[in-house]
C-alpha cells in the first residue's frame, strides 16, 4: 500500500504542481497541433521536394498512417477508462467499435436508403454504443477478474459473426421480406457517406473528410482526439474518476466506504463504449466502406497492448502507446520489409522441399509477424519497465516498491476514503456524519445545524 506523503508545502505547493503539470500538457498539445497541421499541409511538397531523399531513406508516416494513429489513440483512451481507471479487464472492446461503424452504415449509406449527415449520425453511433455497453455491463459487472474477461471476450467474438450473417433475415412472420439484408454480410457496406461541410475551395464546392481528402480527415480526427483527451482529463480528476480508481485499488474497501460499485463500474463501461462507438463512426465514414473482418479479436488485443505499453491509467501514456504501435505496424514494418522480405524468400526458394516450412518462408512478409513483435515488446516491457512508457506516479511507486508517493497522488486508503466522501456529499447526505475539528460538519466545512 502506498503511504500518503506529508503535507509539507500545503495546498499551495500542490496547486503549483498541478499548474506545472497542466502547463506541460498544454505545451505537448500545442506542439502536436502545430506539427500535425504543418505535416499534413506540406506532406506532398516535402515528399516530392527537397526532403524526398529523407522520405525515401526513413520510414516517414503518410497522412493516412497519421489518421490511423489518431483514431486508435481515441480507442485506447476509451478502453483506458475501463481498464486503466476502473481496473476492469475488457477483452471484447471491439464490439462497441462494431456498433459505431454499423450505425453509421445504417444511417448514411444506400444499404437501407437512408442518408443522414454524418454530424448527426455520430451522435446516434455514440448513443447506440453506450447503450450496448450498459446492456452488456448490467448483468455482468458483478463478476470480477477472469470471469468478466471471459464474458467480454465472448461478446467481442459474437458481434463480427452477427455482422457477417445478418444479411438474409426472414421477416415474413412479421409482415416483412424473406431476405432482409441488415448488415451487408461478408461483402460489408459500401459506400458510406463521408462527413461533408459546404465550404468551397481548391477542393471543390464541398469539403469532404474522407480517404479521398486525407488532409482534411487528418485535421478532423486530430480535433476529435483532442476533444476526447480533454473529456478524459476531466473524468480522471472528477469524483467519478476517483471512485473508479478506488474500485480499481480495492473494490471491497470501496464498497465498504459507501461507493456503489456496480453503478460506478457501469458508468465506466458505458463511457468507454461510447468512445469506441465514436471512433467506429469516424472509421466507417472516413474509409467510406466497412467489412466484418475489420473488427476481429486482434483489434481488442492491439488496443490493450497500447494501454499496457504506454502505462495503464496514464492518458499521455496510452496516446503514446497507440502512436508507437500503429507507427510500427503501418510505417516501420513495411519499411523494414522492403529490405528483409526478398532475401528471406530467396532463402526459402533455395531450401529443399520441407513440408509447410518451405512454403511459409517463400511467402514471408515481415508485416505478417507484427503480433510476434508486439509479444516481444510486451515481454521486454514487463521485465524492464512494467509501469509503461509514461506511467502515473502511483503505479510507478507501487511497482517499484517506493514507500512515498508524490503529494498529488492519494495512497490507496486515502483514495478510497476521498472517493466515498465525494460521492456521499454529491448525493446530499453523509452516511455517518461526524463533527470536523473546526466545529463544522460536511465536506465543505459548513455548519448544517441539523445535529441533535
Question: How far apart, in whole angstroms, are the C-alpha atoms of residue 289 and residue 304?
Answer: 25
Question: How far apart, in whole angstroms, are the C-alpha atoms of residue 122 and residue 114?
Answer: 14
Q: Give the three cell numbers for residue 246.
A: 478506488
Residues near 5 by beta carbon (within 8 Å), at least 6 away in sequence: 404, 405, 406, 407, 409
**Span 198-254, pLDDT tens digits:** 998 888 889 999 999 999 999 999 999 999 999 999 999 999 999 999 999 999 999
In this predicted model, which residue has the larger pLDDT, 55 or 60?
Answer: 60
pLDDT of residue 117: 96
- Give the bridge partners for 208, in sequence order: 196
Closest CA to 264 of 428, 414, 422, 77: 422
Q: Quick one: CA dihedral 321, 322, 323, 329, positive or negative? A: positive
Whether this prediction's pTM lies above 0.85 is answered by no
Q: Is the pLDDT of residue 278 over 60?
A: yes
Q: Is the pLDDT of residue 443 over 80?
A: no
Cα dist. 186→108, 164, 357 in Å? 19, 5, 31
Q: Is the pLDDT of residue 275 over 80?
A: yes
Question: How far apart, in whole angstroms, are the C-alpha atoms of residue 81 and residue 88?
Answer: 9
Q: How are beta strands 108-109 and 207-208 bridged, if at all? A: unpaired
Question: How far apart, in whole angstroms, are the C-alpha atoms of residue 41 and residue 216?
Answer: 9
pLDDT of residue 140: 87
The pLDDT-based confidence of 11 (bands split at 50, 70, 90) is low
**Span 403-438, pLDDT tens digits:** 444 433 444 445 445 555 555 554 444 444 444 444
Q: Contact 325/305 with Cβ under 8 angstroms? A: yes
DSSP state of 115: E
Q: Is the pLDDT of residue 32 over 90?
A: yes
Phi then psi dihedrals of residue 376, to 5 deg = -65, -45
pLDDT of residue 97: 97
Task: Give percent above pLDDT 70 in the chain.
Answer: 82
DSSP state of 82: I
**Span 105-131, pLDDT tens digits:** 999 999 999 999 999 999 999 999 999
Peptide bond into 191 cis (omega under 30): yes
Residue-averaged pLDDT of the chain: 84
Element (H, E) at 108: strand 108-109
The pLDDT-based confidence of 66 (bands split at 50, 70, 90) is very high
Q: Which of 8-22, 117-131, 159-173 has the highest mean pLDDT?
A: 117-131
Q: How are beta strands 108-109 and 114-115 bridged, if at all? A: antiparallel
- Give the bridge partners for 207, in sequence order: 197
pLDDT of residue 445: 41
Please give the average per-residue pLDDT across 247-274, as a whole number. Answer: 94
pLDDT of residue 24: 63
Q: 8-22, 186-200, 282-296, 402-416 — which is least confidently predicted? A: 402-416
Closest CA to 28 of 307, 314, 414: 314
The pLDDT-based confidence of 134 (bands split at 50, 70, 90) is very high
Element (H, E) at 262: helix 261-287
Residues near 266 by beta carbon (within 8 Å), at least 6 away in sequence: 134, 137, 138, 141
Q: Is the pLDDT of residue 389 over 70?
A: yes
Element (H, E) at 114: strand 114-115
The pLDDT-based confidence of 447 (bands split at 50, 70, 90) is very low
Q: How are beta strands 114-115 and 207-208 bridged, if at all? A: unpaired
Domain boundaries, the chain: 10-426
Amino acid at each position: 500500500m502506498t503511504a500518503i506523503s506529508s503535507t509539507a508545502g500545503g495546498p499551495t505547493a500542490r496547486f503549483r504542481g498541478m499548474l506545472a503539470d497542466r502547463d506541460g500538457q498544454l505545451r505537448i498539445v500545442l506542439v502536436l497541433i502545430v506539427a500535425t497541421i504543418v505535416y499534413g499541409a506540406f506532406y506532398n511538397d516535402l515528399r516530392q521536394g527537397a526532403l524526398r531523399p529523407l522520405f525515401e531513406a526513413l520510414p516517414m508516416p503518410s497522412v493516412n498512417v497519421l489518421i490511423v494513429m489518431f483514431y486508435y489513440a481515441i480507442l485506447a483512451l476509451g478502453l483506458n477508462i475501463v481498464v486503466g481507471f476502473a481496473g476492469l479487464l475488457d477483452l471484447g472492446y471491439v464490439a462497441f467499435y462494431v456498433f459505431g461503424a454499423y450505425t453509421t452504415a445504417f444511417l448514411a449509406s444506400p444499404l437501407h436508403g437512408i442518408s443522414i449527415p454524418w454530424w448527426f449520425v455520430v451522435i446516434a453511433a455514440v448513443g447506440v454504443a453506450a447503450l450496448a455497453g450498459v446492456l452488456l455491463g448490467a448483468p455482468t459487472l458483478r463478476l470480477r477478474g477472469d470471469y468478466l474477461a471471459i464474458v467480454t471476450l465472448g461478446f467481442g467474438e459474437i458481434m463480427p459473426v452477427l455482422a457477417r450473417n445478418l444479411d438474409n433475415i426472414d421477416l415474413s412472420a412479421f409482415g416483412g421480406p424473406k431476405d432482409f439484408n441488415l448488415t451487408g454480410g461478408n461483402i460489408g457496406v459500401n459506400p458510406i457517406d463521408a462527413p461533408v461541410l459546404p465550404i468551397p475551395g481548391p477542393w471543390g464546392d464541398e469539403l469532404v473528410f474522407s480517404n479521398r481528402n486525407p488532409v482534411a480527415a487528418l485535421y478532423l480526427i486530430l480535433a476529435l482526439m483532442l476533444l476526447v483527451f480533454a473529456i478524459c482529463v476531466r473524468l480522471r480528476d472528477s469524483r467519478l474518476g476517483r471512485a473508479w480508481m478506488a474500485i480499481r485499488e480495492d473494490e471491497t474497501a470501496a464498497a465498504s466506504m459507501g461507493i456503489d460499485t456496480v453503478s460506478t463500474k457501469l458508468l465506466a463501461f458505458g463511457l468507454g463504449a461510447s468512445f469506441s462507438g465514436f471512433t467506429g463512426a469516424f472509421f466507417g465514414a472516413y474509409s467510406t466502406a466497412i467489412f466484418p473482418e475489420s473488427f476481429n479479436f486482434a483489434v481488442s488485443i492491439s488496443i490493450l497492448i497500447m494501454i499496457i505499453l504506454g502505462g495503464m491509467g496514464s492518458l499521455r501514456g496510452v496516446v503514446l502507446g497507440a502512436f508507437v504501435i500503429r507507427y510500427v505496424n503501418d510505417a516501420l514494418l513495411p519499411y523494414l520489409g522492403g529490405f528483409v522480405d526478398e532475401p528471406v524468400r530467396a532463402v526459402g526458394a533455395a531450401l529443399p522441399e520441407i513440408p509447410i516450412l518451405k512454403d511459409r518462408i517463400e511467402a514471408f512478409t515481415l508485416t505478417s509477424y507484427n503480433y510476434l513483435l508486439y509479444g516481444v515488446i510486451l515481454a521486454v516491457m514487463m521485465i524492464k519497465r512494467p509501469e509503461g512508457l509514461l506511467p502515473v506516479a502511483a503505479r510507478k511507486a507501487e511497482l517499484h516498491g517506493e514507500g512515498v508517493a508524490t503529494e498529488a497522488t492519494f495512497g490507496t486508503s486515502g483514495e478510497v476514503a476521498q472517493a466515498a466522501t465525494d460521492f456521499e456529499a454529491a448525493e446530499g447526505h453523509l452516511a455517518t456524519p461526524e463533527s470536523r475539528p473546526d466545529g463544522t460538519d460536511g465536506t465543505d466545512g459548513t455548519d448544517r445545524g441539523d445535529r441533535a
